[in-house]
């Protein structure tokens, strides 16, 4: 083929507007940029990605044995599109015993991690140009809104509310919305809804749907509780359907083993909700081929039956995570007491801690002035050898001074060393 003609064709590759304007995950991109620097010899503590180092946080031993056993038993063919019946039944029992939720196996679907659940829920519940309400900072709602060609109403949350949205925030927008997407415990903040906050939001949803009547599409609630088993101290996780059973008909849950059982790479997640919605979501994921490996599904169904082992593992992993979170919390409180312009919200749940770092106007040793979050992040990486994720990467304002710390890839012993590096770097600023 003529080379000139090939060049013309390359220059005129036109793709969909959605794909052309879609951007990749800011957090994953940042994490891999840091990993590249580490691979090239840079000493950086990478606290960006919400993952676990398997050497520090391996999956449960019994689960690992069950996975091996399932492969030895040759569970390597296609699983049912909605998930192995054994696992759907066991998830039904698990969430009833642990969370008081009553969902049958037919109201549960299994997917390859939680992301296909969210993608399928968005595509099932919203149409093109529908309005979706979600708080910022939050994880990936902006991207799923883009993928479904819907419209976002982003609620910028406040530190005084632990970065959780309120019914008062949502109320002005709900009459035109098709979906409210919430997460508790929240990624990136590690904070949770209080009983009153989530109750008020549920009341708002029920009232709005009563107003709409039977002929109008309801406003739905997508409730991501993937971290609900990882609460710390006296923190309590409140479930919308338990607090207000009337919201059950409009609610789809996101859940799975990725976080509570350190199984991010095992890739088994699940959804539960109204049967009709779950069925349609399953149709979407079946066309994607987004089912979890059958052996892993069989193994997890067997593992979840062993309540003693599950409790033992959860108690152990929560203790380790909590120790790391409180290590950072105490460290930032100490820095604040020394006069550094930092702040921190006490650990509540998940593997995340919310911290504020504001050194705007300070000068580095080489005379550069820190003007914004981008400069601050670069300073942390270059001078402190530490990488956090700014809330701007989760949709918050670009001038936000708040960051997410993720502790799943470090040991408790590393926390003090990281805080020492941070203080040493801060001490060089003038």
pLDDT at 2: 58
pLDDT at 344: 98
pLDDT at 315: 98
Domain 8-57+312-426 has CATH 3.30.300.30: no
What dotted CATH number matches 62-306?
3.40.640.10
Q: What is the per-residue pLDDT across 97-147, written as a single tens digit (0 to 9) for each?
A: 999 999 999 999 999 999 999 999 999 999 999 999 999 999 999 999 999
pLDDT at 36: 83
SS (H, E, C) the chain: CCHHHHHHHHHCCCCCHHHHHCCCCHHHHHHHHHHHHHHCCCCCEECCCCCCCCCCCCCCHHHHHHHHHHHHCCCCCCCCCCCCHHHHHHHHHHHHHHHCCCCCHHHEEEECCCHHHHHHHHHHHCCCCCEEEEEECCCCHHHHHHHCCCEEEEEECCHHHCCCCCHHHHHHHHHHEEEEEEECCCCCCCCCCCHHHHHHHHHHHHHHHHHHCCCCCCCEEEEECCCCCCECCCCCCCCHHHHCHHHHHHEEEEEECCCCCCCCCCCCEEEECCHHHHHHHHHHHHHHCCCCCHHHHHHHHHHHHCHHHHHHHHHHHHHHHHHHHHHHHHHHHHHHHCCCCEEECCCCECCEEEEEECCCCCECCCCCECCCHHHHHHHHHHHHCEECEEHHHHCCCCCCCEEEEECCCCCHHHHHHHHHHHHHHHCCCC
Reading the chain (430 residues) residue by residue, the pLDDT tens digits are: 556 555 655 566 889 999 999 988 877 777 778 878 778 888 899 999 999 999 999 999 999 999 999 999 999 999 999 999 999 999 999 999 999 999 999 999 999 999 999 999 999 999 999 999 999 999 999 999 999 999 999 999 999 999 999 999 999 999 999 999 999 999 999 999 999 999 999 999 999 999 998 899 999 999 999 999 999 999 999 999 999 999 999 999 999 999 999 999 999 999 999 999 999 999 999 999 999 999 999 999 999 999 999 999 999 999 999 999 999 999 999 999 999 999 999 999 999 999 999 999 999 999 999 999 999 999 999 999 999 999 999 999 999 999 999 999 999 999 999 999 999 999 999 9
pLDDT at 41: 82
pLDDT at 339: 97
pLDDT at 25: 82
- Residue spans of the domains in the chain: they are 8-57+312-426, 62-306
């Amino acid at each position: 083929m003529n080379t000139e003609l090939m060049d013309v064709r390359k220059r005129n590759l036109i793709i969909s507007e959605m794909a052309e304007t879609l951007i990749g995950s800011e957090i994953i991109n940042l994490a891999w940029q840091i990993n590249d620097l580490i691979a090239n010899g840079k000493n950086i503590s990478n606290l960006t990605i919400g993952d676990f180092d398997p050497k520090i946080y391996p999956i449960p031993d019994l689960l690992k044995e069950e996975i091996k056993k399932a492969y030895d038993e040759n569970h390597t063919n296609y699983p049912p599109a909605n998930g192995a019946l054994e696992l759907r039944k066991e998830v039904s029992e698990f969430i009833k015993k642990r969370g008081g939720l009553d969902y049958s196996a037919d109201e549960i679907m299994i997917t390859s991690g939680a992301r296909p659940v969210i993608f399928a829920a968005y595509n099932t519940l919203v149409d093109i140009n529908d309005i979706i309400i979600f708080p910022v900072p939050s994880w990936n709602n902006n991207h799923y809104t883009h993928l479904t060609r819907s419209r976002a109403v982003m609620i910028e949350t406040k530190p005084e509310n632990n970065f959780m949205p309120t019914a008062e925030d949502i109320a002005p927008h709900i009459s035109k919305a098709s979906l409210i997407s919430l997460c508790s415990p929240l990624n990136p903040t590690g904070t949770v809804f209080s009983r009153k906050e989530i109750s008020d939001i549920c009341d708002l949803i029920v009232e709005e749907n009563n107003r709409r009547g039977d002929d109008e599409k309801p406003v739905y609630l997508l409730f991501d509780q993937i971290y609900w088993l990882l609460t710390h101290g006296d923190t309590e996780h409140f479930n919308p359907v338990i607090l207000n059973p009337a919201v059950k008909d409009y609610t789809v849950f996101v859940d799975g083993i990725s976080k509570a059982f350190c199984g991010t790479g095992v890739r088994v997640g699940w959804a539960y909700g109204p049967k009709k919605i779950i069925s349609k979501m399953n149709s979407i994921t079946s066309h994607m081929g987004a089912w979890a490996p059958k052996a892993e599904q069989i193994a997890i169904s067997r593992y979840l039956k062993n309540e003693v082992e599950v409790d033992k593992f959860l108690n152990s992993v929560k203790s380790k995570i909590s120790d790391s979170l409180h290590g950072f919390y105490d460290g930032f409180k100490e820095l604040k007491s020394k006069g550094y312009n930092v702040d921190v919200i006490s650990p509540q749940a998940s593997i995340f801690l919310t911290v504020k770092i504001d050194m705007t106007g300070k000068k580095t040793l080489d005379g550069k002035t820190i003007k914004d979050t981008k400069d601050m992040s670069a300073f942390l990486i270059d001078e402190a050898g530490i990488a956090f994720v700014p809330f701007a990467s989760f949709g918050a304002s670009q001038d936000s001074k708040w960051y997410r710390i993720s502790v799943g890839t470090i040991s408790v012993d590393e926390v003090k060393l990281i805080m020492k590096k941070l203080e040493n770097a801060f001490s060089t600023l003038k």
